[in-house]
Structure formats: C-alpha cells, structure tokens
Structure 1
Amino acid sequence: MNQILIEIGGRGVTVGEGAFAAAVLGFAILIAILFAVLRSGRPNAADEARRHEAELRLAEMSRAQAEMTGRMQTMAEVFSTRHADLARALGERLDNLGHRVGQSMETQTRATHDSLSKLNERLAVIDTAQKNITDLSREVVGLHHILANKQSRGAFGQGRMEAIVQDGLPTGAYEFQATLSNGRRPDCVVRFPNTDAVLVIDAKFPLEAFGAFRDAADEEARKQAAQRLRTDVQKHVTDIGERYFIPGETQDLAIMFVPSESIYADLHEHFEDAVQKAHRARIIVVGPSMLMLSIQVMQSILRDARMREQAHLIHKEVTYLSDDVRRLQERVLKLQGHFGQANKDIEQILTSSEKILKRGDKIEQLDLVDETGSGEKAGSPPAQPRLLAGE
C-alpha cells in the first residue's frame, strides 16, 4: 500500500492514498445526487426516472469504485511483491558485488604486496650494482690518473708484467731490472738452459699518442694522432733493438709488452703495419694474454731442460730398480723351492699317516685262537693271541 503510484507537484502519491481519494470522491458524488433529489420537491415520473437512473449510476459507480479499490489493492499487492523481489534481487546482487569486490581487492592487495616485495628486492640489487659501478668508476678514475702520468704508467705496465712472469716461471729463471754489459737495464730478462743468452722483455709501451688517437675530435686530428703513434712505436722498436740486442749475451728476439688487452687489440686492428715492422725487427708485440701464453711455453722449455739434466740420475735409479727386481726374482725362486720341498714333506707325512691308519684297522680285526687251533679248553690257561696267517 505504500508503493508510489504517481507524483503530483513533486510529492509522491501512494496506492493507499489513491484508493482513499477515489472512495472519498465517489462518496461526495453520491451525497451531491441525494441533495439534488431532496431539493427537487415532490417527485414526478420524470424525477422518479432520473432518481432511478441516478441510483443505477450510483450503484454502477459503487461497483466501479469497489472494483477499482480491488484492482488498486491487487496492484498494491503486486507492486509490494515486485518491490520485495526487486529489493531481494538487488540485495543479492549487491552482496555478490561486494563479495567480488572484496575478493578483487584482496587479490589486488596481495599482488601489490608481491610486486612491492619484488620491487624492493630489485631495488636492493640495483643498489648493490650501483655501489659496484661507483667503486668501479672510482677505480677507473684512479687508473686514468695512473696512466696519465708517464712514470706511473711505466710502473703499472712493469707491475703487470712482473705478476705474470712471477706466476709462470720458477725462481732463478728470471730477473727484473738486470744490468747488461752495455749498462742498459731491461725490465725483465729470462734465462734459458744450455745458453748464456737471455730473453729481454720490455714493458715501456708509448701510450701518449694512443690516447690522442682515441680522443681525436675529427678525422684530421685522428690521422695526425695515428701518424704520431706509428712514429712512436717504430722509435720504441728501434730503441729496443739498439739497447738490448747484444750478440752472445741476449737472444736475437725480444718481447715488447702492451699492458692493456684493448690497446693490444686496437693496435692490431688499426696499426697492423707497425706490428709487422716490429716483427721484421724480431720484436714481438704481446698483450697480457699473449705474454702469459709465452711464459707457459718458456716454463715447458725449462721443465724439459731440467728433465734432460736429470737424465743420468734417472738412468741410475732405473739401474737400481732393475737390480732390486732381479733380487726379488731370485728370492721368489728360493721361496718356490722351499715351498716345493715343504709340499714333498707333506706328501710323505700323509703317506705315513695312511700306513698308520691301516695298521690300526688290522689291530681292530685281530682273531684270538689257541696254539693247537682247537680253541680254548676248560681249565686251561688262556692261549696267547696271534695273528692269522696272511694277516
């Protein structure tokens, strides 16, 4: 009954109010008709007909009013049922929507938490990487300062070369800053067996022109730096040949050490002609990896030489080993003879034991008879036992 039927002037009219208004309107019409009949005075046939017609109309209106009231009540009940169903369906949908929204919010919260956790882990990794990059940048800057100074750069190359040589060669096979007969002091000399000539290793590679070549702003500056680099390399190759090639004292081959793999690679890529000129001058340009490989070859040569030097000792020890094997063979043969004699003695002992067992069996089978062969007589002394003939 509280269902809104229509709105009038912004105010909602419920079904109950509409039914009440219809009933009041019908009652008012009925009262008006009665008043009109009473005012008309004495009734005549026409008035009686009009009154009868009015009563019929009033009855029809009453029936219509009753029918309208029933319909309004039915409509109100239908509206109430529909409203309840709609409210229940809306409530269920709101509950389902709230449940789904809650689950979605929970899932989203969990996913956000996982994402934040992974983000924190990645940020920690990034912080560690940033710290490593910062340390590396500091070390690179320090290395740049070292390489910017000529003396520091020479000390850096000398240090790398010494570390590689010390790790690969035994003590006594090399010497740093040794003095030659002409007063020159190469960075390192390597001694080989069966010869007094040493191999010279130089670690003073000219890097000024190479830095200018890398930092050239335009093509013209790059060409000038490249020409300067070729000149410096050729001059350094010439200096090594003049200072360190001494007949009978040094090998006719020297090593020029480049302390950086990147410089060594760029040198072979852009200045192959300078490298070939150095090779023709019997000066080998090597980087850290190539120097390490060369040191390993030298180590193999020294090991082979030591093996040849100790060959007579090895031969002597092999002779002693052969004598020991020969004595071992003689002692094994003696042991074999003793074992054969012991086996023979054991066989003889087994033969004697078998004879003893047979004698025992014969003793167990003795037949006691008298000397006349008639057996023992009553009252006579017992006869001496004897063995039967053939036993």
Structure 2
Amino acid sequence: MSDIFSQTVIQLGATTITLGQALAFCAVAFLCLSVAMIVTLLRFSRARAIAVSEAAENARDAEARMVEILRSQAEMQGRMGAIAEVFGTRQAELTQSISQRLDAMSGRLGQTISEQTRATHENLSRLQERLATIDSAQGNIQALAGQVVQLQAILSNKQTRGAFGQSRMEAIVADGLPMGTYEFQATLSNGNRPDCLVRMPNDAPSLVIDAKFPLEAWNAIRAAETPEAQKAAAQAFRRDVEIHIRDIAGKYFIQGETQDTAFMFVPSESVFAEIHENFEALVQRAHRSRIVIVSPSLLMLSIQVIQAILKDARMREQAHVIQGEVIRLMEDVTRLDERVRRLQTHFGQATRDIDEILVSASKVTKRGQKIEALELSSNAGQTAASADEAVTAPAATSRTGQLRLRIVEDAD
C-alpha cells in the first residue's frame, strides 16, 4: 500500500506528485468542496427563508394593496356612477339647450333668410327700376347724340352756322329785353343791316350787335394735325377776325345813329376763352376799334345792364306822374289827419260826458243808500222828541203822519 501510495502519478518539472499526495489533495479538495457546498446550502436556505419571509410580507402588502385597490375601485365605481349620472343629466340638459338654441337659430336664420330674400327682391326691383331709368337715359343720350350729329351737320355749313349764332343771339336778346326796345335785321341809313339793333332810351344812339363770327379758320385750327398746319390756321383765323372787326367798324358806326361801341357776338364760351388766352392781339385790336367781343354769358349780362338802364329811363319818364300821385296821396293823408283829429275831439267829449255820467250815477247810488235808512214812527212822543231835529233839518211827512223821511245834506 505504501508502494502504491508512493507511486509517481504526475511529474511537473522537478516536482513529483505521488498517488498518496494526489489522493490527499483530492480528499482535501473534496472536503473543501463539501464545506463550501454546506456553506452554500446554508446560505441558500437562509436566503430562501429571507425570500420566503419577504415574499410573505410582499404578499401581505400586496393583499393590503389589493384591498385598498378594491376599495378605491368601489369608490371609483361609485364616483363613476355619480359622474355618469351627472353627465347623463348634463348631457340631457345640453341636448335640450342645444335643441332650443338650434330651434331659435333656425327661426332667426329663417327670419334672416326671409328678410334677406325680401331685401334682395326689393333691391332687384329697385335695380330693375334703375336699369329702366338707365335705359331711358341711354335712349335720351342716343337721341341727344343724334341731335349733336344734326347740330354738327348744321354747323358744318357756313350759312346754317351763321343762322345758329344769329338764333342764339336773338334768343338771349328776346329773353332779356321787352318788345319794342330791339330790332333784328334793321336797316341803317347807310343801307347796312346789322344782326340786332338795341334802341337806347332818351333818344340816344342805338347799340349794334353782330353775330357773324368767322368760325371756318377756328375749325381749321382744331382740325390741324401738325404744328405748321396749326400755325397757318391760326394766322388765317387772326386775319379773318381782323377783317370782321374792320367790317363792323366800317359798316355800323354812324354818327348820331349808332353807339360808338358795338358788340361782336361769339356763340361759344370755349372759342371766347381761347381768343382771350391765345389771341390777345385780336382783343386789343377790337378794343382799339371800340368793338367788344362777347360770349353768350357776357351778352346776357350786358342785356341785363341795358334792361336796368331802360327801366331807370322809364322811371325817369314817369317821374312827373309819380310826383302827381304823391301830391294827391299827401292830400288824402292830410284829410285823413283832419278827420282823425275831429274823431279824437269827439272821443274826448264823449269821455268827459261819460265821466260826468259816472259822477251823477255815484251820487244817485249814495242817495239811494241814504234812503234805505228810513225811520218809521208810531207814537207822538217820538214825534215830539224829534221836533228839534225837524227845526234844523227838512223833513218829509206822509199824510197819515206815520212815515217820516229824514234828509241829510251831503257835503258835496
């Protein structure tokens, strides 16, 4: 056995391990392993006991928590039931409120829609009326356009254009002056015939108005497209107007028969403004020739001034008649004053008579008040007692002696 135990089992370099040593080592190792296992088992059992106790405690905690959770769940269920009931009630109220509001909104919406429909119908009707008015106005504009075309056709002819200016001037004069104070196409002593002759008052010379204004060169200025053509047309217009001014001054200025000033009528306000703006030399030439260029508005104003002069002249002519009427009016006023004074005297006398009547009536009233103080006596003793009074005051006695009237004289 010792040989067996002494046999070499492992040779590790210089170290030799025998079987006995290996078995001893294995026994020691087994013992250590057993001790380690025992220790491990003890530790495991202790840990298991601890785990079991912890598990039991956790179970108790879990059970308590479960109870708490169940209680909380019951409370939650109660609260959820209450909340559900409240929510149901609120939902019903909300549904009812929403229904009411929807009904009210539907009613208002229907009313609004009906009002909007009615307003739309009214607007459409008014729009149709306005469209009808616009159609009528368009028809009038078309008719006016036709008239403008006709007027343009009239103005395109020199003779008709002259007749247009003549008719416009005649309309202004006839509207502003009374009949007999003007004459159209009158013949002067030199044989010339002005377009209008205004009779001035107090045998003053007549005023000449000429309406034959040259518009051909003016229309050429408006129709010119190039500066050269416009300049040539302006020169032609200036030349024609100067010739017309000389013709008026040479034909219509007659000493003692016509005024030394004449009117040259321009039938357009725009032409009149253009002349004063761009042809100042023509205006100065006309002034030097004692010719006044007038537009329709200026001619109307001049006619009004002449009308005022004629009215003043008629007033002066009738001054003696007015003076006679004023004298007769003053005579009537004097007679009226005398009669009023006599009436005032009568009223004064009547007032004095009424005052005297009132004084007499006052005295009569006082007498009547004194008469009311009558004394009736039935015995002679009273008569004897009043005898002394009868001596100093007159008395009136009845035939029977029973009535005695005492009269007291008034200081008046």
Q: TM-score, normalization: structure 1?
A: 0.65
Aligned to 1:226, the other structure's residue is in SS state: helix
In structure 1, the residue matched to 2:199 is: 191
In structure 2, the residue matched to 1:269 is: 277
Cα distance in structure 2, aligned partners of 1:238 and 1:308: 37
Aligned to 1:357, the other structure's residue is in SS state: helix
Aligned to 1:193, the other structure's residue is in SS state: coil
Distance 1:117 1:342, change over 3 A: closer
Distance 1:238 1:342, change over 3 A: same
2:366 to 358, 372, 381: 358
In structure 2, the residue matched to 1:167 is: 175
Give the superposition deviation at 1:351. Answer: 2.1
Distance 1:382 1:284, change over 3 A: closer
Cα distance in structure 2, aligned partners of 1:135 and 1:184: 40
Matched, 1:253 2:253: no
Distance 1:340 1:148, change over 3 A: same
Q: What whole-Å deviation, never above 9, does each CA across 1:13-69 have from its counterpart, x for those lacking one? A: xxxxxxxxxxxxxxxxxxxxxxxxxxxxxxxxxxxxxxxxxxxxxxxxxxxxxxxxx
Aligned to 2:375, the other structure's residue is in SS state: coil
Q: TM-score, normalization: structure 2?
A: 0.62
Q: What whole-Å deviation, never above 9, does each CA across 1:288-341 have from its counterpart, x for those lacking one? A: 111111111111111111111111122222212222221111111111111111
2:403 to 379, 382, 385: 385
Cα distance in structure 1, aligned partners of 2:310 and 2:318: 12
Aligned partners of 1:168 and 1:295 also within 8 Å: yes
Q: How many residues align?
A: 283
1:178 to 186, 190, 205: 186
1:222 to 230, 248, 252: 230
In structure 1, the residue matched to 2:213 is: 205
Tell me which amino acid in the other structure corresponds to 1:385. Answer: L
Per chain length, whose mean CA-contact separation is higher, i.e. which structure has more relative contact order (CA < 8 Å, sep 6+)? 1
Q: What whole-Å deviation, never above 9, does each CA across 1:45-104 have from its counterpart, x for those lacking one? A: xxxxxxxxxxxxxxxxxxxxxxxxxxxxxxxxxxxxxxxxxxxxxxxxxxxxxx9xxx9x
In structure 1, the residue matched to 2:349 is: 341
Distance 1:328 1:284, change over 3 A: same
Give the superposition deviation at 1:269. Answer: 2.1
In structure 2, the residue matched to 1:38 is: none
Cα distance in structure 2, aligned partners of 1:370 and 1:112: 112
Within-5 A mapping of 1:261-340: 261-340=269-348
Q: What whole-Å deviation, never above 9, does each CA across 1:152-174 have from its counterpart, x for those lacking one? A: 11111110000000000011110
Tell me which amino acid in the other structure corresponds to 1:353. Answer: A
Larger radius of gyration: 2
Aligned partners of 1:371 and 1:383 also within 8 Å: no
Cα distance in structure 2, aligned partners of 1:390 and 1:352: 18
Aligned partners of 1:245 and 1:251 also within 8 Å: yes
Distance 1:374 1:249, change over 3 A: closer
Cα distance in structure 2, aligned partners of 1:364 and 1:115: 95
Cα distance in structure 1, aligned partners of 2:183 and 2:407: 109
Cα distance in structure 1, aligned partners of 2:290 and 2:213: 16
Give the superposition deviation at 1:131. Answer: 2.8
Distance 1:210 1:323, change over 3 A: same
Structure 1 unmatched runs, 5+: 1-98
Cα distance in structure 2, aligned partners of 1:150 and 1:332: 75
Matched, 1:240 2:240: no
Percent of aligned pairs with the same residue? 61
Structure 2 unmatched runs, 5+: 1-105, 385-398
Distance 1:268 1:374, change over 3 A: closer
Cα distance in structure 1, aligned partners of 2:186 and 2:379: 123
CA RMSD of aligned residues (A): 3.1
Matched, 1:146 2:157: no
Give the superposition deviation at 1:236. Answer: 0.3
